[in-house]
A = this chain, B = another copy of it.
């Protein structure tokens, strides 16, 4: 397709979306849309890559693939975490094949071009007349929000300051920079990445689909509750939290049932964070509400509710008193989304002694896998010629609509 044809086709497609309704089907499977998504969103914004504690020592690295792109994040000898395209500057070989590792230097297996931990080319055996200074690994931007690592493949990424200011205090008290990985589980969801976000942006589906999740959280009550008892309970608990924790980032900030409003497409907001109380009887997001690992971070009291953070297009996090759970997304073509689910605990906690994976994982493993199956069913449906985008609920799907508006604004942005 010529560029003109493609642009025209995208304009027509965008125009075909009816306000307050879902995205027309081709957004979820068309190759031209997918390339636009990659350029306008995935290669433009900030992407969560992992936690800085995953690259704790100089030479520690982790890898993050975004569709056909691959990024390596590595801590330098100066302690700074940097990111690079995982592509040798000589013949294009992928330098790191594993998920993570530790390296004195990054050596391409093909001809042993050797890059320092800061990405600079230090040796290229047998090539004498090249400008080594110009041939370091291609850098990608990195920001560290007190342990939350974000990368950007853009030449000129958007400003990160406001996102940092919002998330850093929460990450700091949780000491995410000093945590340790308890477990990664990697998924390949059979759905377009936007289907995954639309699923994430409402808890209207929780009652029936997430029996574990709704025992601990209030999200599914969006305006549903006739008696007012739930709302009163949340308000009381939030007030108590604010009295107890005052101005500290441990105070609950979300006194309502239901999800916080996110994103805010009219202001271009792609990040948000808040702290919520848990249902009485739950001190953490576990199956029975009991603590499943030692207290994390600066906590000497489990009564901290859940810190929640999310950034578009690829990150959400729930951090309780004893563990933090993150989800990192990335497309793998228009019909697949890779998701890495990660559990983090206090650095000194020992598996088998201080925590058991059988207690730590199920809450979010069940919830995640329930969602991936729902997304798979949505993907199959929206690929049908019989699919007609339906109306969103104003009470319960305002965030899905906001996500769609945010998405379309990015896609058509000049």
A residues near B (Cβ < 8 Å) are 1-2, 5, 22, 25, 38, 43, 68-71, 85-95, 97, 109-112, 126-130, 135, 138, 140, 153, 198, 204-205, 208-209, 222-224, 374, 377-378, 380-391, 393-396
Contacts and interface: CB of A to CB of B under 8 A. Distances in A.
Given A43-B385, A92-B22, A153-B385, A204 B111 contact: yes
Contacts of A198: 91
14 contacts: A68-B383, A70-B384, A71-B386, A85-B384, A85-B387, A87-B381, A88-B390, A92-B387, A93-B374, A95-B381, A110-B205, A110-B378, A111-B204, A130-B391
The 4 closest A-B pairs by CB, nearest first: A85-B386, A92-B382, A94-B381, A92-B381
Among A97, A205, A394, the most chain B Cβ lie within 10 Å of the Cβ of: A205
Given A374-B109, A393-B127, A386 B205 contact: no
A114 to B, nearest CB: 11
Among A43, A95, A377, A389, the most chain B Cβ lie within 10 Å of the Cβ of: A377
Contacts of A383: 68
Contact of A390 (B86, B91, B222): B91
A162 to B, nearest CB: 27
B384 A87 contact: yes
B88 A386 contact: no
Contacts of A382: 87, 92
Contacts of A128: 395
Given A380-B70, A396-B126, A390 B109 contact: no
B378 A92 contact: yes
